Structure 1
């Protein structure tokens, strides 16, 4: 797979560190609206060319576009890449609106192109070891789950946090993909949601970088809660907040008839998985039994390169997650339950022997 990366912002550094460890993926070109950023990336990597966005899309050497633009541009860049005959792999969220995401999948199907979607953290040993425990019946029948992410806000550390507080941002569309990808991997697809949300502050103050002290407007809800009703009947309770300070509970907990499973931060690839069995005396740490070892951002591209249409971090999973998130926001505005129209196959498990590098 020869990759052209569009977007050389903060997240690009993590992908760049991974490329050299992916045996079936090669970065050949980069582009950014700020040419200097693309040139800086290319200068540090042999064989990588800095191009304009349109040049990269037209380049015959590039067969897959890695889309690391801001969320509002994801669908537009994906559609242009597909129209140029490229496969695409998009950062999360898959798009801003459910309709945009569906349009990308339609275009890809008509053109016969592959579409992948971050986050690929669910392919690591943390989520995959938890999945193996569920599949082996360690906690009995899964009944419910909690998924919690709280932080006082990205403006405290990000020098240009504006997009986090615009439509397409907020804690749900920013961080929700990690948690919902994990919940679908663990419990299967979602059939309906009920949501509620709030916006306690109308502006935020940037805390670092050249714009420190500048205030920015908040035009999206920053504390979102929801109940996800899985097709299996399991209920997941979701809390995503840019307003709360801290929490002491596990990022994800899966409650079954015979025990509770503690799942590590889905924003990471690894982490400790533990179980509290019915009648047990406390939490027991489980050995690592599944997942890509020593994985990092971009492992989804390797999975895509080797598995083709059977890729696990798929556009279909990204779109299902996007629809779920937007349905939670819709429900929070209407006060009504919202049915999910899409479904997606639970991605195939990753065996522990699947290593890279």
Structure 2
């Protein structure tokens, strides 16, 4: 049987960071019996108060006040990536589990400290993206597990855009160290590849950039130039422990692509996997000897899911087990991305030191099992 989304006990959650992404979490928390939002905090008290005013039973606190609150069991960390490790470590020191937006931390060194602290404290660590729990990735996972493509041989993962400065009013951080197409969007793609094909043992990468500055295309700073201090086009090959090879193509320099976001190729067929930044989407199979692509029926994953379902899944994870969207997967994905960039600089393959169990699959779970009456 699949893990239900509604365990016997609700998980009391406090959110630190009330930026734009919080709206998606709030919408889904209202649908999840297993998540009980009790408090929010932000460096801007007015933003926290606005969230509290919009959500019945939620109080606005200072960051320190939320960390000290006895009724907060898990901290949802929606701060900027540079603050992820600091907030996570403070929450763990307060005896609370942590679920963070991607990435787990700014560096693997910081992420390792978070996981070690959580292990010593006996609390759980979860991390976005939880898109891997939706019907898109999980239906593709089931097709692979059911042998529809035979033994997987290779995969391609493609993300191409001319750059976020065209729509983002303050895109500076995308072009500074810690930014770039791989670290920004790679967590979705790498987490999906590991979920589908298992852990990675080595990588090799190459990278480039086309221009030294970008022009902001919208908002009050429209027309301003921002410097580019990172490589804005990254490609890499991931060698999975299974022997399958995945090729990454992550670019802020390409205009458009018609390639599927992810393709998986096996001895008996090929799969088109939907956008890993979404929770659903069609999975298509071209079996050896077939005449055309076949759209597979939805057969696995949390239906109608969205950001925050990873917390519900964590709440329902049996004691002693790693959450599917857990810290180990997030750490492994972060090390893979760091290593691709390191390889691009050195020109040498880089061995991946960490590993992770391939997360357990998600049986098809109807949203009706998780919605408030």
Residue of structure 2 in register with 1:230 after alignment: 240
Question: Within 5 Å, which residues of 2 pair with 1:86-235?
Answer: 86-235=96-245
**What's the offset of the Cα at 1:160?**
2.2
Count of equivalent residues = 357
Instruction: Check if 1:330 corresponds to 2:369.
Output: no
* Structure 1 runs (4+) greater than 6 angstroms displaced: none
Q: 1:40 to 1:214 in 2, by over 3 A?
A: farther
Residue 14 in structure 1 maps to residue 24 in structure 2 = yes
Cα distance in structure 1, aligned partners of 2:59 and 2:170: 27
**What is aligned with 1:319?**
331
Q: Distance in 2 between matches of 1:17 and 1:352?
A: 22
Shift of 1:137: 0.4
Q: TM-score, normalised by structure 1?
A: 0.98
Q: Does 2:361 match 1:349? A: yes
Query: SS where residue 310 of structure 1 aligns?
Result: coil
3-state SS, counterpart of residue 146 of structure 1: strand
Aligned counterparts, 1:38-77, within 5 A: 38-77=48-87
1:159 Cα deviation after fit = 2.1
Give me the whole-angstrom Cα distance separating, in 2, the residues matched to 1:131 and 1:202.
40
What SS does the aligned partner of 1:18 have? helix
CA distance in 2, matches of 1:210, 1:4: 33
Residue-by-residue CA offset, 1:220-253 (whole Å, 9 max, x unaligned): 2211100000000000000111111110011000
Q: CA deviation at 1:215?
A: 2.1
CA distance in 2, matches of 1:246, 1:134: 29
Tell me, yes or no, if structure 1 residue 79 matches structure 2 residue 128.
no
Distance 1:219 1:84 in 2: 37
Q: Distance in 2 between matches of 1:212 and 1:13?
A: 26
Corresponding residue number in structure 1 for 2:4: none
Q: Secondary structure at the match of 1:95?
A: coil
- TM-score scaled by structure 2? 0.94
More deviation, 303-312/318-327: 303-312
Distance 1:273 1:114 in 2: 32
- Note the residue ranges of structure 1 that are not aligned, 5 or more in a row: none
Secondary structure at the counterpart of residue 317 of structure 2: helix
| 1:261, distance to aligned residue in structure 2 (A) | 0.4
Q: CA 1:186/1:18 → structure 2, altered by over 3 Å: closer, same or farther?
A: same
Change (3 A) 1:218 1:35: farther
Match 2:250 to one of 240, 245, 254: 240
Q: What is the CA distance between 1:118 and its match in structure 2?
A: 0.4
CA apart distance, 1:180: 0.7
Q: Does 1:300 align with 2:278?
A: no
